[in-house]
Amino acid sequence: MKTIVKSALLAVSALAISAVTAVADPVEIKLQRFFGACDADFGTNTDVAKATGECGIITSLINKFNADNPDIHISVTNVEWPGYDQLNAQFAAGDAPDIVTIHESVLSDYQSKNLLLPLDDLLKSEGITPDQFTSAAQQGVTKDGKFYGMPIDTWTMLYHVNMDLFKQAGLVNPDGTPIFPKSVDEAIAQAEQFKAKTGKPYFVQNMANETALFMRNFYTYLFQQDSDFFADPKHIKVQTPEAKKVLEFYKKIYDEDLTTKDMDYGTAINAFLAGEGGVQLNGTWVVGDYNAQSETAGTALNKGGYAVYPYPQLFGGTHAQYADGHSWAVSAKDRKPEELAAIGKFLKFYFDNDYEWSRTGHLPSVQAVLDSDQFKALPHRSTILEVAKLGKPLPQQIQRQFALQDIIGEEAGAAITGQKDIDAALADMETRVNDLLSNL
């Protein structure tokens, strides 16, 4: 009898332990992101305020979410930027991550194939409505009238300035701000003056193994000329005087050795940080890191300071520049209610921490953060805040924008470096882009 009672008690105990274990198991959510790897510095960090840079901040935010929510576990896969080849393969295999970082310019590629979950209802359940985001952020993730990503920032290219070299070149206003050109002719003249007085090129550019920089510069200065080069989202028109002017400008800069040459992205960053040129053309994402360099004794940026501004208006027309944004997208698949709720909770957490992400240098996606004194108090935000109004993406209906980047960047780069005649490059650019879009 004692044996029977003991066995029964053990069975009940085992069931109880099993039930507790089942309750305690966290909801597993698979998240895939780019932004680099930095586990050595931030792999276990949950104090987000101590994190720096894109990788450090996103890693620390996810660590904190997991620590604060033991009933949910965000399982992270880090992919090499931009990661879309891998994501395409995952969708094809039916094994896409639950949450994934996607550029707003790429959302249409997946939304048009019904691979993404519209997020309006899920965000609303967390108290998040579209009007809480900036107009740029709303525009970036809205497809067919619905949110297909939760925007987390707006980014663009900027003029990163070595103020010590600008002072040597005599290109500083009485108030200490850099003097920028207001036309193409002024830009060439100032670049020549800079080189004559410093012995260094005006621009630091990554021109080796590169397409994105060429494309972003090209779009920006087409926008500044009010060129409607994508009036039809399936047909580009770049055999135009406006497009030719852009390439002629950058080719003259190249031909007169007013820019660095043959540098890849990492080399160009190191060259700028070493004081090898006046203006680096790079994105919002390095503002935080470059400011830290300017506050470090013995560095090139510490000598006379660091400044950062939007691209100057060089062409008649509207002051504008190409912009994009990052978003969290959610794959469309069958999920349990608790899994969907866990995803919503993570998105709300990231929404609530938009300020922390803005410390990278990206502009906030949340209007209240953009308007806050806390954000405006961050270094250099007063000079780049204008990007929230200047930033302009391509029309949302255009698909395969990363593939277009490669084509446009290749042809623009060939024209600028003299591998092709400018007219031939523009003709090839137009033909290749339109061939790609006609097959969608």
What ranges do the domains of the chain cover? 25-154+327-392, 156-323+399-438
CA distance 108 to 59: 27
DSSP H helical ranges for 274-336: 287-294, 300-304
Q: What is the CATH number of domain 25-154+327-392?
A: 3.40.190.10
Q: Could you report the per-residue pLDDT of 419-435, keeping only the tens digit for each? A: 999 999 999 999 999 99
Q: Are 425 and 135 in contact (CB under 8 A)?
A: no
Q: Are 336 and 345 in contact (CB under 8 A)?
A: no
Task: Evaluate if pTM is beyond 0.85.
Answer: yes
Q: Could you report the per-residue pLDDT of 159-209, keeping only the tens digit for each? A: 999 999 999 999 999 999 999 999 999 999 999 999 999 999 999 999 999
Using the predicted structure, report yes or no on whether residue 91 has a pLDDT greater than 90: yes
pLDDT for position 1: 45
Q: Which CATH class is domain 156-323+399-438?
A: alpha beta
Q: Could you report the per-residue pLDDT of 371-423, keeping only the tens digit for each? A: 999 999 999 999 999 998 899 999 888 999 999 999 999 999 999 999 999 99
Q: Which two tokens stand for residue 316?
A: 């008649």
Reference 320, options 219, 214, 184, 436; nearest CA is 219
Q: Could you report the per-residue pLDDT of 260-292, keeping only the tens digit for each? A: 999 999 999 999 999 999 999 999 999 999 999
Residue 53 neighbours by CB under 8 Å, 6+ apart: 38, 288, 289, 360
CA distance 180 to 102: 34
- Bridge-based pairing of strands 155-162 and 306-309 is antiparallel
% of the chain at pLDDT higher than 90: 91
Give the Cα-Cα-Cα angle 274, 307, 151 (nearest 5 degrees): 105
Q: Which residue type does 144 have?
A: D
Q: Are 63 and 45 in contact (CB under 8 A)?
A: yes
Q: Are 69 and 38 in contact (CB under 8 A)?
A: no
pLDDT for position 67: 98
Within this chain, domains 25-154+327-392 and 156-323+399-438 share the same CATH topology: yes
